[in-house]
Amino acid sequence: QKEWLARELESPEFRAASFRVVLSHIPFGKGGWYGSERLRKQLLPLLESVRIDLMLSGHNHAFGFMDKGKVTAFPIIVNSNSSVLTMFGSEDLLKVQVKQIDGKVLLEKEFSK
């Protein structure tokens, strides 16, 4: 995975992307669990060497948001198994909304270039 990611981060498509969103089942949060710590050690230096606008994760079965600079150089949204994440993007703007099944809005964020 590390070798694949390094190649992707150098690709013309990645370099030309208006926004760079990383999908990872397991969030790269701190916490001492072997899986997240291994990801942080192996892949986080690669991701932090380039501009990443947002990471989307799951795994925890609970909603969470870690803002840029708290844990990583990019924000992380952890979606739960009882909420829906909707994302709209254009060349200049990325909008994300997370809603619970009952319609309660958990997060609304906009990212611009």
Structure-block tokens of residue 39: 């990801």
pLDDT at 56: 96
Q: Flag whether pLDDT at 30 surpasses 80.
A: no
Domain ranges (residues) in the chain: 2-112
Q: Flag whether pLDDT at 92 surpasses 70.
A: yes
Which own/partner contact pairs does 59-62 have at CB distance under 8 Å and 24+ positions apart?
59/25, 59/26, 59/27, 60/27
pLDDT at 87: 96
Q: Flag whether pLDDT at 32 surpasses 70.
A: no
| Residue 61 or residue 97, greater confidence | 97
Alpha-carbon gap, residue 55 to 66, rounded angstroms: 10
pLDDT at 4: 96
Topology adopted by domain 2-112:
Purple Acid Phosphatase; chain A, domain 2 (3.60.21)
Q: How far is CA 29 from CA 72, 85, 91, 95, 102, in A?
A: 8, 19, 29, 22, 27
Q: Could you report the per-residue pLDDT of 48-58, keeping only the tens digit for each?
A: 999 999 999 99
Alpha-carbon gap, residue 101 to 81, rounded angstroms: 10
pLDDT at 60: 84
SS3 at position 104: coil
Work out the mean pLDDT of the chain and round it to a whole number: 92
If you average pLDDT over residues 33-50, what whole number do you get? 89
pTM score of the predicted model: 0.91
Name the β-bridge partners of 78: 57, 64
Neighbouring CB atoms inside 10 A of 61's CB total 10
Structure-block tokens of residue 32: 């001492």
